[in-house]
Amino acid sequence: MFHIASEEYYQDNQIIFREGDLGDWIYVLESGSVELTKNVDGEPVCIGTLHSGEILGDLGFFAKTPRTATARAIGTTVLGNLDRRFLDQEYNKLSGSFRVIIQSMAIRLKNTTQYACRQT
């Protein structure tokens, strides 16, 4: 269903990206799992685990923000890089106002995740 530009292979426990890294690739998880953690007062706090078919990295694309969490492979994991040209084409089809709506949702997700971690 997704337009995959390339695949990336990770071993168990290998870091995919770190919180604060620059990057706006969106991935679909083809197999394996990914643990997401945020740094809270110097300690990693798990904010979720992604499984096959789920999307990773969308906030970098929509909210134009550095990576909001550290992503680590759990077990042997395969990620599909969604084709960037396809994503840009799709996004560029949209009017400015519709993009503002999507961007505002992405920024709220970033802020809510930050808040939820502070409450843990």
Name the site residues for a copy of itself (rule: CB under 8 A): 1-3, 26, 54-55, 58-59, 62, 82, 87, 90-91, 93-98, 100-102, 104-106, 108-109, 112-113, 115-116, 119-120
**Of 16 and 36, CB closest to a copy of itself:** 36
Q: Where are the alpha helices (DSSP H) in 5-94?
A: 58-62, 84-93
**Of 76 and 108, CB closest to a copy of itself:** 108
**Of 14 and 101, CB closest to a copy of itself:** 101
Q: Rounded to the nearest whole angstrom, what is the least distance from the CB of residue 73 to a copy of itself in the complex?
A: 20
Q: Rounded to the nearest whole angstrom, what is the least distance from the CB of residue 11 to a copy of itself in the complex?
A: 26
The amino acid at 4: I
**Of 14 and 112, CB closest to a copy of itself:** 112
Unique residue bearing structure tokens 């604060």: 20
Integer Cα distance of 20 and 23 in angstroms: 9
Return the sign of the alpha-carbon dihedral for residues 87, 89, 93, 94. positive
Q: Rounded to 5 degrees, what angle do the CA atoms 44, 107, 15 make? A: 35
